[in-house]
Amino acid sequence: MVQGSANKNNITLNIRQSEAVKATEGRVRVVAGAGSGKTRVLAHRYAFLVNELGISPGNILCLTFTNKAAQEMKSRIARMVDRGSVNDFICTIHSFCVKFLRREIYRIGYPKNFTVLDEEDAKSLAKQAMEEFGVDRRKLTAERFLTKVSALKGYNIDAYIQRHLLPASSPECPDELVRYIRLQLKHYALDYDDLIYFTIYILNHFEDARRYWTDKLNYIMVDEVQDCSSDDWKLLNILASGHGNLFVVGDPDQAIYEWRGANPKIFVDFKAATDVILNENYRSTPDILEIANSIISNNRNRVPKELYTMRLNERRPAYRHAASEREEAEFIADTIEKGLKNGESARDFAILYRSSFLSRGLEQVLLKRKINYSVWGGVRFFERKEIKDVTSYLRLIASDNDDMAFSRIINLPARKFGNASLANLRTMAEQHKVSLMTMLRSAVDTPKFNRPQFREFISLIDTLRTLSTQIPVSELTDKLLVDSRLADLYRMDEREDRLENIAELINSMKEYELSHDEDDDRLLDAYLQEIALYTNVDAANDKDKVRLMTIHQSKGLEFPTVFITGLTEGVFPNHRSIRERRKDGEEEERRLMYVAVTRARKMLYLSESEGYMNDNGALRYPSRFISEIPEVLLTIEGKPDPALFEGTRNMVNMLNSELGEGDESPMSPGTAVEHKIFGTGVIVSFDPAARSYRVRFQNTERDLVPRVLRKI
Q: Are 322 and 607 contacting, i.e. CB atoms less than 8 angstroms apart?
A: yes
CA 671 distance to own-chain centroid: 36
Q: Which helix (H) or strand (E) holds 559?
A: strand 559-564
What 3-state class would DSSP assign to 123? helix
Distance of alpha carbon 550 from alpha carbon 544, whole angstroms: 19
Distance of alpha carbon 685 from alpha carbon 698, whole angstroms: 16
CA 105 distance to own-chain centroid: 32
Pairing of strands 60-64, 90-92: parallel
CA 336 distance to own-chain centroid: 27
Q: Are 212 and 58 contacting, i.e. CB atoms less than 8 angstroms apart?
A: no
Pairing of strands 546-550, 679-687: unpaired
Residues 6+ apart with CB under 8 A from 92: 63, 64, 65, 66, 67, 70
Q: Are 359 and 381 contacting, i.e. CB atoms less than 8 angstroms apart?
A: yes
Computed on alpha carbons and rounded to an integer, the radius of gyration of the chain in Å comes to 28
What number of other Cβ atoms are within 10 A of residue 652's Cβ? 18
Q: Would you call the peptide bond into 666 cis, given omega within 30 degrees of 0 as the criterion?
A: no
* Secondary structure (DSSP) of 577-607: HHHHHHHHHHHHHHHHHHHHHTTEEEEEEEE
Distance of alpha carbon 154 from alpha carbon 678, whole angstroms: 12
The burial of 622, by beta-carbon neighbours within 10 Å (0-12 exposed, 13-18 middle, 19 or more buried), is given as buried
Distance of alpha carbon 90 from alpha carbon 70, whole angstroms: 6
Active site residues: 38-39, 223-224, 254, 599
The neighbouring-strand residues paired with 91 are: 63
